[in-house]
Amino acid sequence: MASNRLAQFRVFGKKIVAVGRNYKAHAEELGNKVPEKPIIFTKPTTSYLSQGHPIKFPPGCNDLHHEVELGIVVGKKGYQIPEEKAKEYIGGYFVALDMTARDLQLDAKKNGHPWTLSKGWDTSTPAGEFIEKDKITNPQNLQIWLKVNGEMRQNGNTADMIFSISYLISFISKYMTLEEGDVILTGTPSGVGGLKGGDVIEAGIGDVAKITFSVDKS
């Protein structure tokens, strides 16, 4: 991928594919079973938010949660990608937040309904700048962390993913073509929690990348 700007994956990326409960400790903290195969959902690209703009509460939400995640930017088109070739399809990385209206999601879960609105409203995917692939030697050994108002809330390591990045690329592409600029959100470690208006979120991947976003409850 030539340019290193977020705009790059906005322009080319057609979809955001997200993975749920990919860290045992997070599945358990919300009282969910540890999955035997990846739980996949999608978010619209209109949910992207770049730094300098506030995260908004969606209508009807009183329990807005942060979820920091390692984002993978797909580097080239592929369908039914073998796991051993998956790394060739990684174009780069970014720090992402999979913002979640936990009360709306709980309601959807109870009724067996999709999570789309609880994960997909405008501003629900705050994203950092594109990180070149060669800046990260081992994406399965990265600290991912998130602070709210300076206090550490999430502090995990990508080594603890249940399903590896290569496995996820192979699994997702069995069903849908991955295209250049599409992104995969690889799931959140434990420590998710509620936010209020005026909170400031800082999150990052080790010392490679950091993002800052404020929360607006108006």
Ligand X SMILES: O=C([O-])CC(=O)C(=O)O
Q: Which residues bind Mg ion (CB under 5 A)?
A: 67, 98, 188
In the chain, DSSP assigns E strands to 16-20, 39-43, 48-49, 55-56, 64-66, 68-74, 90-97, 100-101, 125-126, 131-132, 143-148, 151-157, 183-185, 193-194, 200-205, 209-216
- Find the binder of ligand X among 9, 16, 26, 162 (CB under 6 A): 26
The one of ligand X, Mg ion, none whose footprint includes residue 78, by CB under 5 to 8 A per kind, is none
Convert residues 58-77 into a mask of x (bound to ligand X by CB under 6 A) and - (unbound).
---------x----------
Distance between CA 21 and CA 175 in Å, rounded? 19
Does the protein bind ligand X through residue 170 (CB under 6 A)?
no
Does the protein bind ligand X through residue 182 (CB under 6 A)?
no
Question: 5 CB contacts (<8 Å, ≥6 apart)?
Answer: 129, 130
The one of Mg ion, ligand X, none whose footprint includes residue 30, by CB under 5 to 8 A per kind, is ligand X
Residue 188: CB minimum distance to ligand X, A: 4
Residue 151: CB minimum distance to Mg ion, A: 21
